[in-house]
Amino acid sequence: MKINTVKDALDELKNIDIENDYAYEKVIWKYLTCVNLPIFACKIPKNTIIFRTRTHEDNKLYTKISDIGLVPKQIVANFGRCNKPFQSVFYSSDNRPTSYSELVEDWARSKNNGDRVYVTIGAWKLKEDADFIIVTSPNKEDRISDFDKEHGPSLEKFISGYNPEDQEILKEIYQFLFEIFRKPSNGNKLTYLLTTAYSNLSLMHDEAKAHGIYYPSVASGDQGVNFAINESFSRENLELIYAMCNEFEVSFDENKKFHCKEIGKMESKNVDLTNNRIEW
């Protein structure tokens, strides 16, 4: 594969017509035929704690573990960062603030001054080691977040194992992936088509045998990290440790900038795994 062919394919991907009925399939086809996606992953050890947030409209407490866990695929209506419609992915973060910062963009669009927002945040433990595909930059100057500074040198080493021409191709591909995963969606469906297609192709790849995608949170200013974990691993290898219900008050300043202040919280007293119950 020639580097000009790859560059042209990446340019075409950025201009896919999202109104076309086969837009997602076109992205998949272009990845498969012109890009030859690489696989670069790391292992996250068992007993790592990750955080997942579910929002709700009132202060009613969720009492079932399944209520704050993996979303049933039949109610997944839209594309997300790493999922297509009717595909369930366990989105989570490395810390509590990042897990709900992912929802702030939606709150800013849908809430009014003085509104209350309620979220339930679950802390989940990995019961087994998990392999995650990493999305970072091949260029040092782009590595601003701690995540990129940590994993960027490993990516350089990974790329250096290829011949010079393939190295240039890999740098083009990884820079493209880096940019689309760092791009706020802002309702742009194409961004999610591109990231989801890459995620699904990578996770089904025989060489990867990975359990999810690992990438910095756009909403937290790249300071937090997100996990998008596939359904099969999530169902068998995640265990809820505790839950917390938070209440936030929404406000907008004179410049219409959105603010969200925590005004209340409640922590679970016990998690009954056997009976699928959260006790408050």
Each residue's pLDDT tens digit, 124-174: 999 999 999 999 999 999 988 889 999 999 999 999 999 999 999 999 999
Residues 82 and 147 occupy one common structural domain: no
Of 151, 186, 206, the last residue of a domain is 206
**Is residue 155 one of the residues assigned to a domain?**
yes
Residues 34 and 145 occupy one common structural domain: yes
Residues 274 and 202 occupy one common structural domain: no
Residue 263's domain comprises 43-128+234-279
Backbone φ/ψ region at 111: left (φ over 0), alpha (ψ -120 to 50), beta: beta
Residues 121 and 135 occupy one common structural domain: no
Residues 35 and 147 occupy one common structural domain: yes
Residues 169 and 183 occupy one common structural domain: yes
Residues 140 and 199 occupy one common structural domain: yes
Q: Does the reported pTM lie above 0.85?
A: yes
The tens place of each residue's pLDDT in the chain, 280 residues long, gives: 789 999 999 999 999 999 999 999 999 999 988 777 778 899 999 999 999 999 887 888 999 999 999 999 999 999 999 999 999 999 999 998 888 877 877 787 788 888 999 999 999 999 999 999 999 999 999 988 889 999 999 999 999 999 999 999 999 999 999 999 988 776 679 999 999 999 999 998 755 589 999 998 876 666 789 999 999 999 999 999 999 999 999 898 888 888 888 899 999 999 999 999 999 9
Residues 58 and 118 occupy one common structural domain: yes
Using alpha carbons, select from 89, 84, 73, 106 the residue that is nearest to residue 193.
Answer: 84
**Is residue 219 one of the residues assigned to a domain?**
no
Structurally, the chain folds into a number of domains equal to 2
Beta bridge partners of 271: 278
Residues 101 and 78 occupy one common structural domain: yes
**Is residue 100 one of the residues assigned to a domain?**
yes
**Is residue 221 one of the residues assigned to a domain?**
no
DSSP 34: I
Residues 54 and 34 occupy one common structural domain: no
Using alpha carbons, select from 204, 198, 234 the residue that is nearest to residue 71.
Answer: 234
Q: Are 232 and 212 in contact (CB under 8 A)?
A: no
**Is residue 80 one of the residues assigned to a domain?**
yes
Name the one residue in this structure whose structure tokens are 């083009």: 172
